[in-house]
Structure 1
């Protein structure tokens, strides 16, 4: 039987053990043609069709033979397969030229995938990516509603149509709020992000944006506000100011006033500033409970408060006898988190007196010293700045310095390579208190 299959992105790359697919004999390399007679164009269609309790799944085997598997299952049962292309279709690239775009500020010679700008609502749903909604057709919007693609993470920046067009440099950028109103009407959940740029979307414009987003609550669940970051590689781009202690403090005061209003009005602070603002302002972060479950954690909102609580709670459970081995270790971190990590290292040493922890602040020479977060530190800077230090038996780094699914730094140096060059074990730690403490104490 000959079948013309155009979408070779439907090739199966993984079959889970004890899954429906494995039971049926579906294998890696097989091609998914259709479900219930409907061709699969992307992962959203696949997930939607998969929700039926009766399926006829058409598969083309590696040898070219076609099989149709009849499957009866529970509503929420998965087939247990993954595809060579996670979204099946080609990812939509970004057509914007944002004044603050970080990718436009990257130097040459980094991992090739870092230079691809995605702006695909399917990746927002699957992987948590933030999208601007500027390249969406009417069909795309209708599909979000039809297939219940929720939640969607949206890069808002401003709800002022003219200002958004100016910042994003896309003639469709001003349509954002009307699209969001349609999604809210369809009860699609949205998380929002605002990259705050002094002189553009701060002050009165920030208040306007937050107020506009709050009118769509609860479908706009929250808004995260992060400060713009600039590298030393933007000489070909427009001038852009960054936040200093004074302007960061002004922004914190502004947002905290809105917190009072929204706590009384809707029972939530709604808009949250990333930890960077408080660090720049030399100011105390919100308390643990004030982050309301850390709904914008991935945007760097409340990371320090959460990790501090987890470390302190975990240290209370430790037995001194269990961790009595004498050892000396080091931690490498960025400028933003340095004081916090140094304090946490001291708390660990107070509990485990036989452990010596040295914390080193890595200056970001690769991107420029205005970039202070740990997740943008390269192996090159770690090697250059720590090669002559007595690091002890192990060097610990935040896992965020590495690619999400691979042990490789932004400058294309692998974890194995940095260990060979530095002649020391380098251990990544998750942003979780238990993992951080247990790996250091082993």
Structure 2
């Protein structure tokens, strides 16, 4: 019980109150301190704080601070991430190749990550006490993986016979004034058809004005890798299914948006369109706030909007004359190729796009964020050989920032032990950006989220700021943190 204090700032309110490193913070205002997030909620709730602590020898004491609703100058021990208890038939972690480092196989199911970073949770680890905590501490909005509201279908999807009634938990949160973003990962024959229609109708019925509403429902095509040995049979979303889905439900997106005051509520992930070979819809198809962007909804459209504005700007001339190889996943390659062609025509640059095959997860995985370093290395070497094998065949190689990013945080305010599964500058297979750059023999930089970011990185490489691929101070980390998304380039 409680959270251990690791450090106490010199001259802080905590030091003045006699609090020392090694003490355990048990209660604030008589309420149990569960973790760092609980501490932040309680310590900032009032101008004065009554604390109850325990020394390492087991003795306890009380401390009173007038903190004005601010922190008191302590660093707390990191919290353990809560792991998922479900056995979802399309769980991506279960489909991971063998041989990666242990942290990549972590299945997080943590309402704190849902609130802080937009991670989706099935709520399987959330009992009534935790649901009450979400309400009490105003952890809103929460992101919930519903998949199906039909209890029988949901049990089939999540593999837990006790988790069929997701609406009971959602209703408890809504009654407490908590807003909820929802998603359904759609697998043909499993939760499409009438089951999907029921899910849509059940969640739409819980949309309302004011607090305590289902804010959105996204549908995302199931993602399957080549590593499904001894796993349940799941049908993949092929281009024909994706096309039928996109054409069937795109008009419904507009219908629900009209009923929602013009704001899109039903959201279709970009992959429905990219898998089908269709152009993504226009800006009005997506939420004004780009809701569920981290879930792959609107990433391509936002990139196109930014790119076309950038190409018209004076800064675009910084690409003039540059010979750049852009590596990306197969899903995004057609879109990126069109943008590169527009930029080349506008400023006289020489950008080329190559879709890297994903040998690590299997070629059915086409998103950029799951490309490993060896996949990108292979694609670059193959391109160089095709161009005659010259060492200086390009001025620079660009890799997707999404393939380098940390999956979650950390932030200065809140971290969870075990959450960060890859460091910035390291690919999923532990190859680093400097190692890739050294192997290719040309500057190798991350894409950033937009062309403007990419130019910043190329100019930093011109100045030697990347030091053979090492990240410089201008490194832009904006991009994806979910496997479903199609971009970065």
Shorter-chain TM-score category?
A: 0.7 to 0.9
**1:435 aligned to which of 441, 449, 453:** 453
Aligned partner of 1:308 in structure 2 is: 304
Aligned partner of 1:287 in structure 2 is: 282
Cα pair 1:193 1:226 within 8 Å, conserved: yes
SS at match of 2:314: coil
* Structure 1 residue 33 corresponds to structure 2 residue 29: no
More deviation, 372-381/107-116: 107-116
Q: CA deviation at 1:402?
A: 1.4
Q: CA deviation at 1:369?
A: 0.6
More deviation, 246-255/256-265: 256-265
Q: CA deviation at 1:20?
A: 6.6
* Structure 1 residue 48 corresponds to structure 2 residue 13: no
Change (3 A) 1:23 1:291: farther
Aligned partner of 2:425 in structure 1 is: 407
Cα pair 2:153 2:195 within 8 Å, conserved: no
Q: CA deviation at 1:24?
A: 7.0
* Structure 1 residue 72 corresponds to structure 2 residue 66: yes
SS at match of 2:94: helix
**2:243 aligned to which of 208, 229, 249:** 249
SS at match of 2:154: helix
Cα pair 1:255 1:271 within 8 Å, conserved: no
1:257-268 aligned at under 5 Å gives the runs 257-267=251-261, 268=263
Cα pair 1:231 1:368 within 8 Å, conserved: yes
* Structure 1 residue 337 corresponds to structure 2 residue 339: no
Q: CA deviation at 1:143?
A: 1.2
Aligned partner of 2:437 in structure 1 is: 419
Aligned partner of 1:296 in structure 2 is: 292
Aligned partner of 1:395 in structure 2 is: 397
Q: Which string of whole-angstrom CA distances, capped at 9 and with x for unpartnered residues, describes residues 136-178 of structure 1? A: 2221111111222211110110111110011111022112101
Q: Which string of whole-angstrom CA distances, capped at 9 and with x for unpartnered residues, describes residues 89-142 of structure 1? A: x32211111110110011112132111111111221122211101222221111
TM-score, L = length of structure 1: 0.87
Cα pair 1:378 1:410 within 8 Å, conserved: yes
Q: CA deviation at 1:55?
A: 2.3
* Structure 1 residue 373 corresponds to structure 2 residue 367: yes
Aligned partner of 2:414 in structure 1 is: none
* Structure 1 residue 122 corresponds to structure 2 residue 116: no
Question: In structure 1, what is the Cα distance between the partners aligned to 2:355 and 2:319?
Answer: 27
Question: In structure 2, what is the Cα distance between the partners aligned to 1:245 and 1:410?
Answer: 27
Change (3 A) 1:25 1:396: farther
Structure 2: runs of 5 or more not aligned: 385-392, 407-422, 461-489
Cα pair 2:425 2:433 within 8 Å, conserved: yes
Question: In structure 1, what is the Cα distance between the partners aligned to 2:344 and 2:20?
Answer: 49
Question: In structure 1, what is the Cα distance between the partners aligned to 2:230 and 2:64?
Answer: 58
SS at match of 1:130: coil
Change (3 A) 1:358 1:149: same
* Structure 1 residue 347 corresponds to structure 2 residue 339: no
Aligned partner of 1:174 in structure 2 is: 164
SS at match of 1:149: coil
Cα pair 1:259 1:270 within 8 Å, conserved: yes
Question: In structure 2, what is the Cα distance between the partners aligned to 1:419 and 1:227?
Answer: 34
* Structure 1 residue 111 corresponds to structure 2 residue 111: no
Question: In structure 2, what is the Cα distance between the partners aligned to 1:60 and 1:433?
Answer: 53
Change (3 A) 1:80 1:307: farther
Aligned partner of 1:3 in structure 2 is: none
Q: CA deviation at 1:283?
A: 1.6
Aligned partner of 1:148 in structure 2 is: 138
Question: In structure 2, what is the Cα distance between the partners aligned to 1:200 and 1:307?
Answer: 32
Cα pair 2:341 2:351 within 8 Å, conserved: yes
Q: CA deviation at 1:80?
A: 6.7
Q: CA deviation at 1:346?
A: 1.8
Q: CA deviation at 1:295?
A: 0.5
Aligned residue pairs, count: 428
Cα pair 1:20 1:78 within 8 Å, conserved: no
Q: Which string of whole-angstrom CA distances, capped at 9 and with x for unpartnered residues, describes residues 224-272 of structure 1? A: 1111111111021122111122211221233224224323322233111
SS at match of 2:235: coil
Question: In structure 1, what is the Cα distance between the partners aligned to 2:321 and 2:303?
Answer: 25
SS at match of 1:101: coil
Aligned partner of 2:468 in structure 1 is: none
**2:313 aligned to which of 314, 317, 326:** 317
Change (3 A) 1:20 1:315: farther
Structure 1: runs of 5 or more not aligned: 1-5
Q: Which string of whole-angstrom CA distances, capped at 9 and with x for unpartnered residues, describes residues 286-325 of structure 1? A: 10132122111001111011011111112222157x6276
TM-score, L = length of structure 2: 0.79
Q: CA deviation at 1:82?
A: 5.3
